[in-house]
Amino acid sequence: MPNLLSRGLFNLFFGARRKALQGLPGPQPGVLGNVGDFLGVPPWDVCARYGREYGGVTLVWMGPSPALVLNDPSVIEEVMETRRLEFEKGNVNEQVRPTVTDDTSFIAKQGEDWAGKRRTDPMAQPWSGDWLAAQVGPLRASITRSLEALLTQGPLDLTPALRRLTFDALAVTLVGEHLPDPAYDDFMLLAKGADARIKANLPLRFVRFPKGYEAAKTRYYGQFLERVRAARRTPTPGGQDLLSWTLREMPEMDDQVLAHLLGSSFYGGVFSCSTTLVGAFHQLQKSPDAEARLAAEAAALAEAPPSWEVLRGARWTEAVAYEALRILPAVRIFTRTPSADTKLAGVTLPAGTTLLISNQHLHRDPAHWTAPDTFDPSRWLDGGTARDPLGSGHFFPFGRGPRACVAAPLAMVFLQTALATLAARARVHVDSTEPFEEDFFFGVVLPKGVTGKFVARPVVTARQSVG
């Protein structure tokens, strides 16, 4: 709590602003507002604490500017769904734009800019479900190949190991094959450039790109453009990757736009999916029964031809993925900003007020979940996924409403295939079950210091594992 002088100074300078928002609970601001609460603490932990201490809507001050932290599902629904056009998305658009390009819906402005981009996004087409259903086999093959390399290695930092596995697997779904190492290096360099801009305390014009950024960008997106042109010249008959599907189904799509969409998809998927896997294996290390049940189901799946139908029937694998997304969501903070003065939560908010929405508190709200801090995949069985569907009030790892993650279905197929493929052949041993340190990279939670190794399992047939 700021001292009396600090609180007095804040009121002296900004008392009128405060009065306009009186009625909203929140911590006492000092001369710098409540910025101190966020120093050295992950912002999602602060938002969750506010939820516990002040309820669904908390007023905080970022220096002289008000911000609301939303933990009330119905207010979040207004902002992200029913009145979403009144609230511009996030404040990292300019930070990530050079890396993800202008063609992705991710940084589009609300309204027609976003709607137009989403309409032409290959992942949001009537045929996208058929493309996705065809990815189980290629994903399984890619993950098996990555696992074979991981099994030959000693102790590992699991975050970068699973990040590369994810990059390779997504490459197969997007362009039909793995990309060479230099493409991964370019991908990471561009991500670091964006991340430095997200974290900078300086105006962006003072933030330097890492050395070699422009050349890496030219190479990174250039390779996708070459692939698009080559695939147009010589289509792969029956090609199941997104590039082949898009050229068949949407031949009018501009080559450059498609190259940008393919390249930028990795930014949406690689960090978020791999962070989720790290969280899942960390939790499974603490839950031997859940791990054993996953291994048994995975052994049965490994004996069946890889298909969408078979994967869909693997209810425990799905439950493990859901539970990892609940207890350790990879994307934990969303921001929105009213474009004009607007009424919300009983007060008039000035245009530009920051709204911080975090799923962390609601995903573990004891008023909603039984034993919320326990990793218990069984909560998702027997109607659990229908009680708390993706995008509902207490479970929104992919966001909420029409602007929720366009690739959530791909992420789910990836996560389930990865969990099943890895668990069938190996046990992912995690060295420590203590909570790991959570950093932030490219807007996504970054697990730090989660070490472990992949230990080959004796080959168990489904019959043995069940009987």
Which residues are annotated binding-site positions for heme? Answer: 405
**Of 363 and 379, which has the nearer Cβ to ligand HEM?**
363
User: From CA 230, how far away is CA 222, in angstroms rounded?
Assistant: 12
User: From CA 89, how far away is CA 109, in angstroms rounded?
Assistant: 7
**Of 107 and 424, which has the nearer Cβ to ligand HEM?**
107
**Min. distance of Cβ 186 from ligand HEM in angstroms?**
18
Angle at 57 between CA 23 and CA 22, to 5 degrees: 15
**Min. distance of Cβ 339 from ligand HEM in angstroms?**
15
**Min. distance of Cβ 457 from ligand HEM in angstroms?**
25
**Of 2 and 122, which has the nearer Cβ to ligand HEM?**
122
User: From CA 172, how far away is CA 181, in angstroms rounded?
Assistant: 14
Cross-strand pairs, 395: 392
Interface residues with ligand HEM (CB under 6 A)? 89-90, 104-106, 118, 265, 268-269, 272-273, 276, 330-331, 334, 397-399, 403-407, 410-411
**Of 330 and 344, which has the nearer Cβ to ligand HEM?**
330
**Of 133 and 404, which has the nearer Cβ to ligand HEM?**
404
**Min. distance of Cβ 75 from ligand HEM in angstroms?**
15
Neighbours of 303 (CB within 10 A): 11
User: From CA 373, how far away is CA 377, in angstroms rounded?
Assistant: 12
User: From CA 396, how far away is CA 433, in angstroms rounded?
Assistant: 25
**Min. distance of Cβ 109 from ligand HEM in angstroms?**
10
Q: What's the CA dihedral at 457, 459, 461, 465 to 10 degrees? A: -30
Residue identified by tokens 């807007």 is 443
**Min. distance of Cβ 444 from ligand HEM in angstroms?**
8
**Min. distance of Cβ 463 from ligand HEM in angstroms?**
33
**Of 106 and 322, which has the nearer Cβ to ligand HEM?**
106
User: From CA 391, how far away is CA 369, in angstroms rounded?
Assistant: 16
Q: In terms of Cα–Cα distance, which of 123, 66, 115, 54 is closest to 89?
A: 115
User: From CA 419, how far away is CA 318, in angstroms rounded?
Assistant: 9
Give 361's contacts (C-beta < 8 A, 6+ positions apart): 47, 48, 51, 52, 71
**Of 78 and 431, which has the nearer Cβ to ligand HEM?**
78
